[in-house]
Amino acid sequence: MFRQKDQVVIIRFLFLSVILGAMTASAVGSFSIPAIDLLSGSLTELQRTVWIEIRLPRVILSGLVGASLGLSGAALQGLFRNPLADPGLIGVSAGAALGAAVVIVLTSDLFIPSSLELFLLPMAGIIGASMVTLLLFIFSKGFGYQGVTYLLLIGIAVNAIASVGIGILTYISTDSELRSLTFWTMGSFGGVTWSVLMPAMFLMILSFFFMLPARRTLDILQLGEIEAYRLGVDVKKVKYRVIFSSAAAVGASVAISGMIGFVGLVVPHLARLIGGVNHNYLLPASAALGAFIMISADVLARMVMQPAELPIGLITSAIGSPFFLWLIFRMKKRDY
């Protein structure tokens, strides 16, 4: 089995891959920036502008969103003791989307200072995501094993409610609002600028640091809530910590890059396959693996149909949904 030492090596390797992946991703695209020029610093003025103003924020955003989704997926699966918990499937992303859509459509008529406005979108996403996660927790309480299916059913309901909300908002939105709405239900990292990225980046990184201290208690929680109490874990505190930090991470990412499905489901399972299930390893590994996968998927999205772009959500769902089916199949065999 996996020893702690191996796990440290795996985590280091994953983080190294993220850095290398990010460098490669910032070099490739319809406008080529040779990696050698990038490293030696001999870029032309145009290359530098493209790199700093377009590529870099995009790569950073995709990495952060991947890390957010991977990390939240791992933590939510641990908290709910449910291998199928995924921010998208259980409706957290939809809640965030609804929150953000409300802001996009309803606040354009109001006058809001632009510095505040940049924070408003991720904050609305976070509020939407927190509300859904809290709701899930209240509803799924005391359902024990049925909880696995129950949680997904609630997710379907929440997703439906959110899509009604977004549908209504689409109806009353203007043309330009509509365009940003549709573009963003599919998910995309395109057109991100530093000014949009900064506040969300701040919130996401904050949520990572808030989440990580829960890693040992998430392990203990696997014994069940009562056992965790008996082992001296303040269960309520852990719950709130995980719920709010995952909601913040997911909310902020959905608010600026749209709904990107299945990453939160697939990444933690891959990370478990690579190096083990204890959260001390799983949380950082899922964050790094999520970042790496998302950066790669975004490169794919940019390269496949050059100069056009595929929505990133399409790619992740294309890979993730068969995986989801496989997971259900495997669970059925195990008879949870």
Partner 1 sequence: MTIEAVSIDVEIDGKLLLANASLEIVPGEILALVGPNGAGKSTLLRTLAGDLKPTSGNVFYDSRNLNQLSVRERAIPRSVMSQTQPMIFDFTAREVLQMGWLHADHNYYNEYFESAVDNLACACEIEQLMEQKFNTLSGGEQKFIHFARSLLQLWAPDDLKDNRYLLLDEPVAGLDMGRELHMLNVIKEHAKYMGVLIILHDLNLVARFADSVLLLEEGQILKAGPPHAVFTEHIISNVYKVPVMITQDPLTIRYY
The residues of the shown chain that bind partner 1, judged by CB under 8 A, are 1, 78, 81-83, 144, 216, 219-220, 222-224, 226-227, 229-234, 272, 276-278, 336
Q: Which residues contact residue 26 at a Cβ distance below 8 angstroms, ignoring those fewer than 6 apart?
A: 33, 38, 51, 55, 56, 59
* Whole-number Cα distances in Å, 141 to 74, 88, 126, 147, 245: 19, 20, 22, 8, 20
**Residue closer to partner 1 (CB basis): 10 or 118:** 10
Least separation in angstroms between residue 306's CB and partner 1 is 41
**Residue closer to partner 1 (CB basis): 162 or 233:** 233
**Residue closer to partner 1 (CB basis): 117 or 219:** 219
Sequence-ordered alpha helix ranges (H) in the chain: 4-27, 35-40, 45-49, 56-79, 92-106, 114-140, 147-172, 175-185, 194-211, 215-221, 225-230, 235-257, 263-275, 279-303, 312-334
Least separation in angstroms between residue 172's CB and partner 1 is 43
Least separation in angstroms between residue 135's CB and partner 1 is 22
**Residue closer to partner 1 (CB basis): 85 or 200:** 85
**Residue closer to partner 1 (CB basis): 191 or 213:** 213
Least separation in angstroms between residue 234's CB and partner 1 is 5
- Whether the CB-CB separation of 81 and 222 falls below 8 Å is answered with yes
**Residue closer to partner 1 (CB basis): 109 or 332:** 332
Least separation in angstroms between residue 219's CB and partner 1 is 6
Peptide bond into 307 cis (omega under 30): yes
Least separation in angstroms between residue 282's CB and partner 1 is 9
Dihedral over alpha carbons 118, 19, 88, 333 (to 10 degrees) = -170
| Residue 28: both structure tokens together | 């490739």
Q: 311, 95, 310: which is closest to 187 by C-alpha?
A: 311
Angle at 236 between CA 87 and CA 133, to 5 degrees: 20
**Residue closer to partner 1 (CB basis): 222 or 296:** 222
CA-only gyration radius of the chain, Å: 20
**Residue closer to partner 1 (CB basis): 82 or 316:** 82
What region, left, alpha or beta, does residue 90 occupy, with left being phi > 0 and alpha being psi -120 to 50 degrees?
Answer: alpha
Give 142-197 as a DSSP string: T-GGGHHHHHHHHHHHHHHHHHHHHHHHHHH--HHHHHHHHHHHS---TT--HHHH
**Residue closer to partner 1 (CB basis): 191 or 224:** 224
Least separation in angstroms between residue 77's CB and partner 1 is 8
Least separation in angstroms between residue 53's CB and partner 1 is 43
Least separation in angstroms between residue 13's CB and partner 1 is 21
Cα separation, 215 vs 6, whole angstroms? 18
Q: 159, 177, 205: which is closest to 63 by C-alpha?
A: 205
